[in-house]
Structure 1
Amino acid sequence: MAVSNVVADEPEIDAAAVTSGSSFYLAMRILPAVQRDAMYQIYAFCRAVDDVADSDAPRADRSAALAQWSEDIDACYAGSPRPALTALTRHIRSFNLQREDFHAMIDGMAMDVAEDICAPDEAMLDLYCDRVASAAGRLSVRIFGMPEEPGRQLSHHLGRALQLTNILRDIDEDAAINRCYLPRELLAREGIAAADPKAIADDPSLPRVCATLAERALAHFAASDAIMNDSPRRTVRAPRIMSGVYRCLLERTLERGFDLPRTPIRKPRARLLWIVARHVLF
């Protein structure tokens, strides 16, 4: 994905349309209008930089595209956004969104662009989770209206819970594009060579690695629940739904198991609608 030229009449991003296919869409839909649009804009940004990282363009082109996004974010804070980011800039001001969180997200995508990640060590995995998931959480909790410290703690735990769930759910999809996010130390403990994502995905000892990572995800879900239980209900309705949706995905992943052959995990639509209804109506 090469860097595209920005034209003067570039339209604003249809952020609602971009968001409509997301697992987070139902959580965003219940927010008041201004918060809802702000979240749509944040998601559209996250989707755009993720698409850059996951494209099949040469690494140099993807790096250039991410560098352009960094410049675009800086332009938002300078008060001179490109037309497509006018709405995002408005929300940056309204909700005091922090520049470093946008840049952290871009830096996380740059980790995928720099090389095909295969079995990162624990520190690298945690940094990756912080950048690609918890950074988005830090932006989101400001929009939800959470106080600073509980918001940061929720972003830390829920972001990691969500990203570890993605990693466990997407082992085969990641291997197909020569990536593996399972930590090197856990693989070594089970005698799995950390050299080839496809070989890792096919190793018979993989379920024990995944069980440990699932325990971590569940611990982060529990920690985020405790924070939300101590927070005003109006500020945590959306993250409760996000947590419920992803906990459901993790449960489905664990029910399927990690032995071969593994079938793709489908979102249970009826269950997700019940999760939303429970937090909106009760």
Structure 2
Amino acid sequence: MSLETAAADANYGTTASGSSFYAAMRILPRAQRQAMFQIYSFCRKVDDIADSDAPRPERLAALQQWRDDIDALYRGHPPARLQDYVASVRRFGLKREDFLAIVDGMEMDVPQDIRAPDLATLDLYCDRVASAVGRLSVRVFGLPENDGILLAHHLGRALQLTNILRDVDEDAGLGRLYLPREALLLAGITGDDPSRVIADRGLPKVCLPLAERARIHFQKADEVMNRNSRRMVRAPRIMSKYYHAILDLLIARGFQSPRAPVRVGKMARIAILLRYALI
């Protein structure tokens, strides 16, 4: 390994070290680990743009620059910030359209904050910001094409729906509401003001069906992983078990206000890592 490669690996690892996926990425062989750190770094950078306090036109322009840079990468003229990605793109066959889908997903929050999207829009959002990341990742893990795409579909949605349920109060503080409009109406909630919705007594009637949808996606993801090599699915299995534990904690806590934050304890995280990474 060259000094430059070692430095880049350390840099990407530092960027990812605050991620809940860090342990799952860290167990991978070097080339796979580097590629996953690069994918994570890319996601962090475009997400930071979408979530920044910069004026919306500036954020839109910054995201468009990322699209232009991705296009340049795939034309064989990578800009400096994507130069290190060339080897990973070639080695693992990473798809341009998946990188662009992630940018498109992050941009969905920029022209205006998402508030009570319909189910189709919510599913599109989950596909772009989560399942597209999964489609890049499963190529790095080496899964067969069809099972890889299927795993990305189900696990991406399971993780993102769990995120939405976990972060409902935090998102409301940012003026965002990802809970689907149809579920709100079924619960008798007709507005889309985030602060009012999260205080509504009917909120559990919205969140519990969404939790069940996430649970089904976890189950479908498990079915895919169970028929593939344990070595290939070690990292996604760790991600799945960690987030499934979060979902279980959310359901056990309930969704009625006030809602205490939930966290998977250190020993539980270690147990997941030991069971699926080392044993």
Residue of structure 2 aligned with 1:110, choices 97, 103, 107:
107
Residue of structure 1 aligned with 2:137, choices 123, 136, 140:
140
Residue of structure 2 aligned with 1:84, choices 81, 85, 95:
81
Tell me the TM-score normalised to structure 2 length.
0.95
Residue of structure 2 aligned with 1:170, choices 167, 171, 183:
167
Tell me whether 1:232 sits opposite 2:221 in the alignment: no
Residue range with higher mean Cα deviation, 72-81 or 11-20: 11-20
Q: Is the 8 A contact 2:177 2:192 kept in 1?
A: no
Gaps of 5+ in 2: 1-6
Cα deviation code 1:16-38 (max 9, x no counterpart): 11100001001001111110010
1:254 alignment partner in structure 2: 251
Gaps of 5+ in 1: 1-10
1:58 alignment partner in structure 2: 55
1:95 alignment partner in structure 2: 92
Counterparts of 1:259-278 in structure 2, within 5 Å, are 259-278=256-275
Q: Is the 8 A contact 1:12 1:83 kept in 2?
A: no
User: Deviation of residue 75 (structure 1)?
Assistant: 1.4
Cα deviation code 1:138-175 (max 9, x no counterpart): 00000000010000000000000000000000000000
For residue 56 of structure 1, give the secondary structure of its aligned residue in structure 2: coil
User: Deviation of residue 12 (structure 1)?
Assistant: 6.0
Tell me the TM-score normalised to structure 1 length.
0.94
Q: Percent identity?
A: 57
Cα deviation code 1:46-74 (max 9, x no counterpart): 01000011111110000000000001111
Q: Distance in 1 between matches of 2:274 and 2:75?
A: 41
User: Deviation of residue 266 (structure 1)?
Assistant: 2.3
Segments of 4+ in structure 1 off by > 3 A? none
Amino acid paired to 1:74: D
Q: Distance in 2 between matches of 1:194 and 1:99?
A: 38
Q: Distance in 1 between matches of 2:220 and 2:153?
A: 10
Residue of structure 2 aligned with 1:179, choices 169, 173, 176:
176
For residue 108 of structure 2, give the secondary structure of its aligned residue in structure 1: helix
User: How many residues were matched structurally?
Assistant: 272
Q: Is the 8 A contact 2:158 2:218 kept in 1?
A: yes
Q: Is the 8 A contact 1:118 1:194 kept in 2?
A: no
1:196 alignment partner in structure 2: 193
Computed over aligned residues only, the root mean square deviation of the Cα atoms, in angstroms, reads: 1.2
Cα deviation code 1:232-254 (max 9, x no counterpart): 11110100000011011111212
